[in-house]
């Protein structure tokens, strides 16, 4: 099970991070991976407006707008990934 977190980068704007449900997102590492100097998670009340999904149900596919998505490399070890 993977979760999708919504963040805003200082260079790219809104970016999505997909990581294992039990993992903790390193904002510093995510900033580097997404081409930003800094990222911060968006406020809960912004998630629906930005993605069209409620908190807890965000999918990296089918958001209102196409945002850059960074997926944890552990997804490569899974036999199948779907949303």
pLDDT digits over 25-78, tens only? 999 999 999 999 999 999 999 999 999 898 999 988 888 889 999 999 999 898
Contact 25, 5 (CB under 8 A): yes
DSSP state of 9: E
The Cα–Cα gap between 13 and 42 comes to: 11
Whole-angstrom distance between the N-terminal and C-terminal Cα of the chain?
10
Query: Token pair 């069209």 is at which residue?
Result: 52
The Cα–Cα gap between 12 and 15 comes to: 7
What local confidence, expressed as pLDDT, does residue 83 receive? Answer: 64
What local confidence, expressed as pLDDT, does residue 4 receive? Answer: 94
What local confidence, expressed as pLDDT, does residue 34 receive? Answer: 94
What local confidence, expressed as pLDDT, does residue 12 receive? Answer: 95
Q: What is the mean pLDDT of residues 3-24?
A: 96
The Cα–Cα gap between 24 and 43 comes to: 17
């Amino acid at each position: 099970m993977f979760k999708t977190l919504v963040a805003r980068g200082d260079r790219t704007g809104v970016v999505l991070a997909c990581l294992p449900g039990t993992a903790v997102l390193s904002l510093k590492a995510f900033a580097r991976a997404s081409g930003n100097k800094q990222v911060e998670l968006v406020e809960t009340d912004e998630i629906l407006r930005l993605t069209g999904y409620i908190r807890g149900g965000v999918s990296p596919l089918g958001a209102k707008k196409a945002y850059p998505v960074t997926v944890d490399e552990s997804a490569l070890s899974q036999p199948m990934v779907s949303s």
